[in-house]
Amino acid sequence: MDELDRVLGGGFVAGEVVLIGGDPGVGKSTLLLQVLARISAAHKAVYVSGEESAEQVALRARRLALDSGKLELLAEIQLERILATLEKRSRKSPSSTRSRPSTRSSSPPLPARSRRCASAWRT
């Protein structure tokens, strides 16, 4: 975790969007589960997975003996649904949030999807 904090310039910053990339199987999901379990001890945290069910993520957390009691899990792939769910879980008033309707007819290439998702998270 210390190395990740160093790479991020001191750790995660509230409201910041960080994209973690890498080849399949290198441990991105496991690393982020560990980080979010640690963060959830003091802050609200939601682990969103587009590839695994919430049950699979919870099983990994148990295997790693993580204290993930306060960590919320969400298994969803559609950005609009993710944002709507997070908005419902937050205490923001509707006037303080912005939504973006889906305008895509097909999925853009991965880099474009990543930029679109990161942009939506910031708004």
pLDDT at 44 over 50: yes
The confidence band for 93, taking pLDDT boundaries of 50, 70 and 90, is very low
Per the structure block, which two tokens stand in for 1? Answer: 């975790």
Give me the domains of the chain, ranges plus CATH numbers.
2-122 (3.40.50.300)
pLDDT at 116 over 90: no
Spatial distance between the Cα atoms of 52 and 36, rounded to a whole number of angstroms: 16
More confident residue, 89 or 29: 29
Spatial distance between the Cα atoms of 85 and 39, rounded to a whole number of angstroms: 20
Q: Which residues contact 29 (CB under 8 A, 6 or more apart)?
A: 49, 51, 52, 57, 60
Place of tokens 């982020």: 32
- Residue type at 75 in one-letter notation: A
Spatial distance between the Cα atoms of 8 and 58, rounded to a whole number of angstroms: 26
